[in-house]
Chains A and B, each alone.
Chain A
Amino acid sequence: MLKKQYIQSAFELLIGESKKTFLGEKSSCMQKYKNSLPVGFCHDYPNTVSLKVTADCNLRCKHCYYSGEPTLYNPQDDFSTEDIFELIDFLVDDFNILTLTLTGGEPFLREDFINIVAHAKEKNLPLVIQTNGTILTEKDIKNLSEILYPKTDVIHISLEGANKNAHDSIRGKGTFDKAIESIKLLKKYSLPVQINSTLTSVSAPNLENLFELCDSLNVNRLSISKFHVCHENHKYLDVILEDTIYCAHKILEKMKKYPHIFAKTKIVDIYDFLKLDEGRKILDEYLDKHPKKIHEETCLSCHNHNKLVISAKGDVFLCSTYESEDTTLGNLHESDFYEIWERRLSNPYFQKRNLSTVKCKDCKYITLCGAGCLASAYKEYGDINMAPAECPYFKEYLRRLNE
């Protein structure tokens, strides 16, 4: 039986997130730009792009979405160096993007990776580099320290919780120690580091200890997100709702204890509370006290067309969660980028949605969920104007309608 206090903490974590921005971002020019945009503004061109520079990886993590199909790790179709340079030039000069994430696979497997980073920095592009931290050498890190601009760039290292055995059981023996060693080296060269972690059945028991780990490593950015099961083999990593709520409670306690560590968490969502009687009471009490305003932090990146994901073999997506044949906008080796971008307007998953016409527009909780994920709604019901698959309230509504 979950204590009300735990559910209350989890809700505090959810609502508190809407006020969060990363260190210093609140007064930054990026934030000024975002604040200047009208509510619900849909971009003509994306302002953030995630580029997978290689499909290859030195690890075979059990929770990787490639793990169901090992052939996906094949780097044969990776972009050439020249292709990537040209792509970066296009993204900056024509699309005017504001942030580029370089990821993989494992990006440091590319021998030209430092050159790619250098090319992006010649364009002054703020960078996020995502790595498992197991193959970085001191030479790589020294080179990065000469290229990166610490105020706007950050290196993300993935850890599966704070426990070595838990991490190694998912990512492989010895990987935890290597990742920690990389973090220490990055800090030695004064590079900004963020630790990324996911809540899984393996990481859950000690997840909150990440705060002590960050503190000891002098890392002041931490991101914890919910693990999304996308393959049969991953089901053992799923976390039951009660444990998720309890973890959220423990994490909130640590956030208060370590205020200098900026923790961004996405481990509970509005739908978790709708599944619990006590959760609904908390939501109702909150709605009674607060003016009705659509929750703007709901992920609607596809709806606002502000984000783009490019796979190592050139497939383009609007969303990293829904990468499949039916969600791709096209392939850069086959079509012109502008042509691919225009296809977003005909892809059924990512149409522009008007919140005043969604099927759940009269639901009192819409102010908190913003009608949720379009792609999830389309995948479940074949209609972006339905509620997302995760919404138990909408499922109840449909059941009552059919009775």
Chain B
Amino acid sequence: MNKNTVLSLAPHVLKRMEYSLDTFYLLNLENDEMWTGNYSSYLIIDKLNGKDNIGTVIRNLAEKFEDFSYEELYNSAKTIFQELLDKNFIVSD
């Protein structure tokens, strides 16, 4: 995985954001696994559309969040992406 990798949700994975709990759920209907994150992870994962590569996704986010640099966001997101790839919640195209 690098900045040119294009990611998308795996087939049969649903996303659900519960704002008042600040909990983001990914539900894998294929293997019945559930992954939870927070609102920040929702903002990142929601942008994985199978078209834009990771670099573009993070750059777009960095423009909205002036408190964090592109590299800071990329390093945080990379850890999440790797975990979700390992657990089959997202796939690289």
Contacts and interface: CB of A to CB of B under 8 A. Distances in A.
A186 B33 CA distance: 29
A44 B20 contact: yes
Interface in A13-32: 27-30, 32
A286 B32 CA distance: 35
Question: Interface of chain B, helix or strand or loop or mixed?
Answer: strand
Contact of B18 (A28, A43, A151): A43
A152 B27 CA distance: 12
A149 interface: yes
A152 B25 contact: no
A33 B12 contact: no
Interface in A24-54: 27-30, 32-33, 36-38, 41-45, 47
B29 A29 contact: yes
A124 B11 contact: yes
Contacts of A32: 27, 32, 34
Contact of B12 (A37, A42, A149): A149
Contacts of A38: 21
Contact of A124 (B12, B16, B17): B12
A98 interface: yes
Interface in B3-46: 9, 11-21, 23, 25, 27-30, 32-34, 36
B34 A124 contact: no
Interface residues of A, number: 23
Interface string A352-363: 000000000000
A29 B20 contact: no
A42 B11 CA distance: 29
A98 B18 contact: no
Contacts of A43: 18
A96 interface: yes
B32 A98 contact: no
Nearest to A152: B29
A65 B21 CA distance: 38
A29 B16 contact: no
A101 to B, nearest CB: 16
A126 interface: yes
A36 B32 CA distance: 14
Contacts of B19: 44-45
Contacts of B13: 124
A29 B28 contact: yes
Contact of A96 (B16, B29, B32, B33): B16
Interface in B30-74: 30, 32-34, 36
Contacts of B18: 37, 43-44
A124 B17 CA distance: 16
Given A96-B15, A96-B17, A98-B16, A149 B34 contact: no
Given A44-B20, A98-B27, A29 B32 contact: yes
A29 B34 contact: yes
A33 B15 CA distance: 11
26 contacts: A28-B29, A29-B27, A29-B28, A29-B34, A30-B27, A30-B29, A33-B34, A37-B18, A38-B21, A41-B21, A42-B20, A44-B18, A44-B19, A96-B15, A96-B17, A98-B14, A98-B16, A98-B27, A124-B11, A124-B12, A124-B14, A125-B14, A126-B14, A126-B29, A151-B30, A152-B12
Given A37-B18, A41-B21, A98-B16, 9 more contacts: A27-B32, A28-B32, A29-B33, A30-B29, A33-B16, A44-B20, A45-B19, A96-B15, A124-B12
